[in-house]
């Protein structure tokens, strides 16, 4: 091969692309308790049943969303015209940045938050204002700083807030979010609430849409219905906002297979609710087992389909993550995130797995004590 054939073409690229460095997911043999996939015997059974009922038509034909949208509208008691489906929460966030944050010229992120918000903002060269919503040690939620930024912002912006506050697992009262929506509307901001883990805490902001047309709610179907591999999220908003989002054709990215699986999940909603309830039990028992060995730590209740612990030592979470990785278990250290110094997060699985992981955490932490 000649040198000319090996040359890299000099295509024009977006300047913001230089600010990001994505990495593909790599599958390993380790138990993944880092990514908060829904792992539960009940959801495994429900997804297995749904997969057996997927039709050839669902994969052979281009997808039509009307039936799934109607089911979501019934479940969440909201107009179907205000629902937008995307290929996962990442795609929903990228869509909202493109459709609203980029034209507005600003994004306000309540930290900590899902990293996709700032990733897509950097890619699109949208200025970001980060505002902490966790204060103290152990952390608690406080929206005063965020409210101050919204009141003082020189121009309208998109405001991104997670509730439950991910990855801390703390939950804001929806009345606090409603007050924030009023303030945001007064200053011309669009408030986006990411309730990715809402199914596991009984938290939803969709009813607030009736009174707050400047509110957008992102809900992860991937998390709630154990469909991380199918990639699916729902964006709830005023129909006028949904109409703007639809101009970007998010429907073209959602597969017929994903729609079929979600449709069956919605049909089995009571069974999924039983899974979410049992996960709360597993979470409490796991937290109790961990704290029995380390009573000096704090569990940030309620959590999602995960448990977050604050150790009081900024260096310990990285050591625990490394020690568990050596034992075939992946978790996430949070110690570098705003308000979460000394914290780590563990996704949930079945009872036996969580008992084993609690023992491993004690073993590793004792080693580094």
Q: What would the pLDDT profile of 42-98 be if each residue is shown by its tens digit?
A: 999 999 999 999 999 999 999 999 999 999 999 999 999 999 999 999 999 999 999
Decide if pLDDT at 1 tops 70.
no
Beta bridge partners of 158: 107, 190
- Residue 6: band (very low, low, confident or very high) from pLDDT cuts 50, 70, 90: low
Helix (H) or strand (E) holding 216: strand 215-220
What are the backbone angles phi and psi of residue 132, rounded to the nearest 5°? -70, 140
The rounded percent of the chain whose pLDDT value lies above 90 is 90
Residues whose CB is less than 8 angstroms from the CB of residue 88 and which lie 6 or more positions away in sequence, other chains included = 220, 222, 231, 232, 233
The rounded percent of the chain whose pLDDT value lies above 70 is 97
> Helices (H), strands (E): how many in the chain?
15, 15
Identify the weakest region by mean pLDDT among 16-30, 149-163, 232-246, 249-263: 16-30
Residue 299 DSSP SS3: strand
Residues whose CB is less than 8 angstroms from the CB of residue 61 and which lie 6 or more positions away in sequence, other chains included = 256
Calculate mean pLDDT across residues 256-281.
Answer: 98
Calculate mean pLDDT across residues 157-182.
Answer: 97
Query: How far is it, in rounded angstroms, from Cα 284 to Cα 239?
Result: 39
Calculate mean pLDDT across residues 118-141.
Answer: 96
């Amino acid at each position: 091969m000649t040198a000319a054939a090996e040359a890299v073409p000099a295509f024009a690229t977006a300047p913001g692309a230089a600010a990001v460095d994505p990495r593909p997911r790599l599958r390993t043999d380790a138990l993944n308790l880092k990514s908060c996939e829904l792992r539960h015997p009940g959801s495994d059974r429900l997804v297995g049943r749904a997969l057996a009922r997927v039709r050839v038509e669902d994969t052979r034909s281009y997808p039509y969303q009307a039936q799934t949208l109607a089911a979501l509208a019934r479940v969440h008691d909201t107009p179907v015209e205000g629902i937008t489906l995307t290929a996962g929460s990442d795609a929903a966030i990228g869509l909202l940045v493109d459709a609203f944050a980029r034209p507005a010229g600003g994004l306000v992120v309540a930290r900590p938050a899902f990293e996709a918000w700032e990733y897509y903002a950097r890619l699109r060269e949208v200025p970001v204002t980060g505002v902490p919503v966790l204060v103290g040690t152990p952390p608690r939620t406080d929206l005063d700083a965020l409210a101050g930024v919204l009141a003082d912002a020189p121009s309208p912006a998109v405001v991104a807030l997670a509730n439950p506050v991910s990855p801390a697992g703390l939950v804001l009262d929806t009345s606090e979010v409603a007050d924030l929506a009023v303030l945001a509307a007064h200053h011309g901001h669009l408030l986006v609430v990411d309730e990715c883990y809402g199914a596991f805490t009984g938290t939803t902001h969709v009813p607030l849409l009736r009174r707050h047309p400047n509110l957008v709610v992102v809900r992860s179907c991937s998390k709630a219905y154990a469909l991380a591999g199918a990639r699916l999220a729902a964006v709830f908003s005023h129909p006028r906002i949904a109409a703007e989002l639809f101009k970007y054709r998010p429907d073209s990215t959602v597969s017929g297979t994903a729609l079929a699986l979600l449709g069956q999940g919605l049909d089995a909603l009571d069974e999924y609710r039983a899974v979410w309830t049992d996960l709360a039990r597993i979470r409490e028992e796991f937290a109790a087992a961990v704290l029995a060995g380390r009573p000096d730590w704090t569990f940030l209740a309620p959590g999602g389909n995960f448990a977050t612990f604050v150790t009081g030592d900024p260096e310990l979470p990285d050591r625990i993550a490394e020690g568990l990785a050596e034992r075939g278990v992946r978790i996430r250290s949070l110690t570098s995130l705003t308000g979460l110094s000394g914290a780590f997060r563990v996704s949930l699985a079945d009872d036996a797995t969580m008992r084993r992981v609690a023992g491993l955490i004690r073993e590793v932490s004792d080693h580094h004590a």
